[in-house]
Structure 1
Amino acid sequence: MSGLTVSAVPLNVSPNLQQFFTRGPPVSLSCVEDGQTVDGWTVKTTRGGQIEECGAAGSDFGRLDGSSCVLDVSTKFSTDHWCESSSGQRSDQVTITVTDKDLILEIPALPVLTGSDVTLSCRNRNGDKVKAYFYKNGKVTEDKLQRVQQSDEGLYSCFTDEDGKSADSRLRVRDPPPTSAPQTTTSSTTTTVYAATSFNDNNNNTDARASFSPPLSLIRLFLHVMVFCPYSICTILMVSICYSRKTGNKPVFSMEMTQCDDQYDDIIDNITTNHFRAAQM
């Protein structure tokens, strides 16, 4: 237990109040962590400037009842109490007041969490709750504290015309302990990453499909070249024939002209057919 922090094992007061009447019900103090009493920690107090341990020999501070310290409320007192480990670690102090007056303020002994609601009450010795004026640090305040904050800490008391004023007791406010992040956040993040990965994969697939589109264009280009080349060859032949006619060698090229005309007609038919097929593709 030596590794625990000072606030790890607080002093628990039952009932959870700071003020009690003399000859009233017993008050129990214990050192508790997560609802369980802790070994190695004892309840201590100061009396007459001296530190006393509950249940110690020669001390009438209180008696041990199992792991709890039962206070003697037969006489009035107002002293600080705390839990202390064998290594000297201390919890926060709680001031317990036992009074012989006719009025007590009912205020929590344990710290209250920020954002919670606290209701103060004033009780007389007969056990009845009475209407009263409530004060914080000597100034009038409300009995209902909603969504308390650190600014609500201070010394509180109550007052009635019949019974007078109660003792002062301090209200302590603490922030709630931090909570761990919910598991759904991790799942959501994982889903988002997966979705982003899937999206990138889709883009990559699209780019890959796009990279295969050039072969279709190459086929079309090849068909156009196949159509254009025979046409160019025939054009060159026609020019050559015409040039030969001008030179006077008509008999020599008369047969070639006839053959070229026939070939030209066949080429034109092939060109038309191939062009039509290319257009269909």
Structure 2
Amino acid sequence: MKSSCVGLLLGVSVLLLSGLSAASPVSLDISPNLQQFFTGDSSVSLRCAGDGQTADGWTVKRTRGGATEDCGETGPDPSCVLDFSVPLGGVFWCETSSGQRSDNVSITVLDKGLILEIPALPVKAGCDVTLRCRLRSGDITAAFFFVDKHRLGSGPELVLRQVRQSDEGSYWCSTDRFGKSPHSFLSVEDPPLPHTITASPPLGSDPAGSPPSSSTPPLHSCISVLHLLCHLLVICPYCVCSVLLVLMCCSRNSGNQPAVSMETRQPAELDDVTTEQDF
């Protein structure tokens, strides 16, 4: 009975742990978390990670000249470091030997002009995102900000408050003097949440004359509610099943009482009859 209980418990554990692993896919981790760079910028590190830990068996891949190749060294901790010595970017992702892949991330490298500072990794729904336009010199310049073909606002930066999935799109910035930046796609994870979009005052406007902003304050914690629920749904049934299986095993073992030995004696009447017959 004990072996069957242990076997059943192990089976339940394997199934639940498999579900937990499926809820934590491997993704490409980028540091710093940006999509656009100038030649000569600081190096960028790319690695394959799941839940913040390096993922074994995954390799960083890239496209170069229309061909696919490994990016960086392979080994127990594969990573790829871009030094931006030449204006060459590309598409990057993580992949296993069996062909399983993560989402793609595009990186653009320019030697002049204007770039948009925008996150390369998906943004959690409910978080704030700040977009800036940067020059080759490193200075942040006032610009007009767009998503697809829609103008969002102007100023030194654009703040997207509590982003949701409807904020996904191709973003770019433009100036009258320095031209416009390349387009980069902003990805948003998890269910949509209420949000507002605020921008810095338009170019040439008087901040003192602008109406007060009615936007909500930024969130201080960007916790993935869906990810937390997935963990709870996996851990709670595991604990309940473990307790029930232990109680079942204990109750069945306690029901097997040892046999009681009884001494058989002849009744007193039979002893008297036997004695009389002997005489």
TM range (shorter): 0.5 to 0.7
Q: What letter is aligned with 1:55?
A: G
Q: What letter is aligned with 2:227?
A: P
Partners of 1:154 and 1:12 in 2: how far apart?
Answer: 21
1:24 to 1:178, Cα distance in 2 relative to 1, 3 A: closer
Aligned residue number for residue 162 of structure 2:
147
Residue 79 of structure 1 and its aligned partner are, at CA, apart by 1.6
Aligned residue number for residue 227 of structure 1:
none
Give the alignment's Cα RMSD to 1 decimal: 2.6
Identity of aligned residues (%): 55
1:101 to 1:6, Cα distance in 2 relative to 1, 3 A: farther
Aligned residue number for residue 178 of structure 1:
227
| 1:178 counterpart SS class | helix
1:15 and 2:64 correspond: no
Matches within 5 A, 1:79-98: 79-98=90-109
**Aligned residues of 1:6 and 1:89 also touching (Cα < 8 A):** no
Partners of 2:189 and 2:134 in 1: how far apart?
Answer: 26
| 1:82 counterpart SS class | strand
Residue 6 of structure 1 and its aligned partner are, at CA, apart by 9.7
1:77 to 1:25, Cα distance in 2 relative to 1, 3 A: same
Q: What letter is aligned with 1:169?
A: S
Normalising by structure 2, report the TM-score: 0.58
**Aligned residues of 2:42 and 2:83 also touching (Cα < 8 A):** no
Matches within 5 A, 1:93-242: 93-142=104-153, 143-175=158-190, 176=224, 177-180=226-229
Deviation per residue, 1:35-89 (Å, 9 max, x gap) = 2212211100112221110137xxxxxx999632101411113421000112211
Normalising by structure 1, report the TM-score: 0.57
**Range that drifts further, 129-138 or 4-13:** 4-13
Name structure 2 gaps, 5 residues minimum: 1-17, 191-223, 234-279
Q: What letter is aligned with 2:61?
A: K
Name structure 1 gaps, 5 residues minimum: 57-62, 183-281
Aligned residue number for residue 46 of structure 2:
29
**Aligned residues of 1:6 and 1:91 also touching (Cα < 8 A):** no
Could you list the runs of 4 or more consecutive aligned residues of structure 1 that deviate by over 2 angstroms after TM superposition? 3-7, 63-68, 176-182
Aligned residue number for residue 276 of structure 2:
none
Deviation per residue, 1:211-261 (Å, 9 max, x gap) = xxxxxxxxxxxxxxxxxxxxxxxxxxxxxxxxxxxxxxxxxxxxxxxxxxx
**Aligned residues of 2:58 and 2:78 also touching (Cα < 8 A):** no
Q: Which structure's relative contact order is higher, taking Cα pairs within 8 Å and 6+ residues apart? A: 2
